[in-house]
A = this chain, B = another copy of it.
Amino acid sequence: MQPKPWTFVAGENGDWLIVGSRAVVGAELPAAARLEPRPTLLAELPARASWLVRGVTSNERYVFRAEKTLLVAKQPALGRPSARCAALIPIRKSEAWWDLTQDERRAIFETRSQHIEIGLQYLPAIARRLHHGRDLGEPFDFVTWFEFAPADSAAFEDLLGRLRDTEEWRYVEREVDVRLER
């Protein structure tokens, strides 16, 4: 899979209405009415837009083959007509996280926090796409986009609650949770 760039632009345009936005850790993002995901890396904020976050889809950094097989079998595509709810969750991890080696990060991410295992339990209800921003010099290391049906909103809250309760999340130093509907 070739890396693909995305820019999420918050402002007056886009199919997605912003129905909520809160800082979970650290500074919040400015208020805006709508969000437009654009399949490009915008160099600057469009006129009258409020903010943007950028990232690229890329190869996975922690998933092992047995996990990938389970993920591929269960994970749905984005854009399902029933998935009228979405969430955009940009995250920045601490320097302490990035100073860890690959084996230490994997041990926290999956062995002790079950990030993949927890996510699998909410498939196929919750579709997601991960974007990497750190190597682009972005303020957020990761931007995750989730889509789900209104009936799965409670399951989505449950998923987030379980992830935020893990050892991995102690390394999150900024997190904003933006909710959307179309």
List the interface of chain A (C-beta within 8 A of B): 1, 3, 5, 41, 56, 58-65, 67-68, 95, 98-99, 101-104, 106, 132, 134-137
Q: Are A103 and B64 in contact (CB under 8 A)?
A: yes
Q: How far is the CB of A173 from chain B (nearest CB, A)?
A: 14
Say yes or no: A101-B65 contact (C-beta < 8 A), given A132-B135, A135-B136: yes
Q: Are A99 and B1 in contact (CB under 8 A)?
A: yes
Copies of this chain, how many? 2
What would be 6 A-B contacts, judged by CB atoms less than 8 Å apart?
Answer: A3-B134, A58-B135, A63-B102, A64-B103, A65-B104, A135-B136
Q: Are A103 and B135 in contact (CB under 8 A)?
A: no
- Per the bound structure, the CA–CA distance linking A98 and B99 in Å amounts to 24
- Per the bound structure, the CA–CA distance linking A65 and B56 in Å amounts to 28
- Per the bound structure, the CA–CA distance linking A102 and B65 in Å amounts to 8
Q: Are A135 and B56 in contact (CB under 8 A)?
A: yes
A64 / chain B contacts, CB cutoff of 8 Å: 101-103
Q: Are B68 and A101 in contact (CB under 8 A)?
A: yes
Partner pick for A135 among B3, B62, B68, B101, CB 8 A cutoff:
B3
Q: Are B3 and A137 in contact (CB under 8 A)?
A: yes
Most chain B CB inside 10 Å of its own CB: which residue of A3, A56, A102, A132: A102
For A104, the closest partner residue in chain B by CB is B65
For A63, the closest partner residue in chain B by CB is B101
- Per the bound structure, the CA–CA distance linking A89 and B103 in Å amounts to 27
Q: Are B61 and A98 in contact (CB under 8 A)?
A: no
For A134, the closest partner residue in chain B by CB is B3
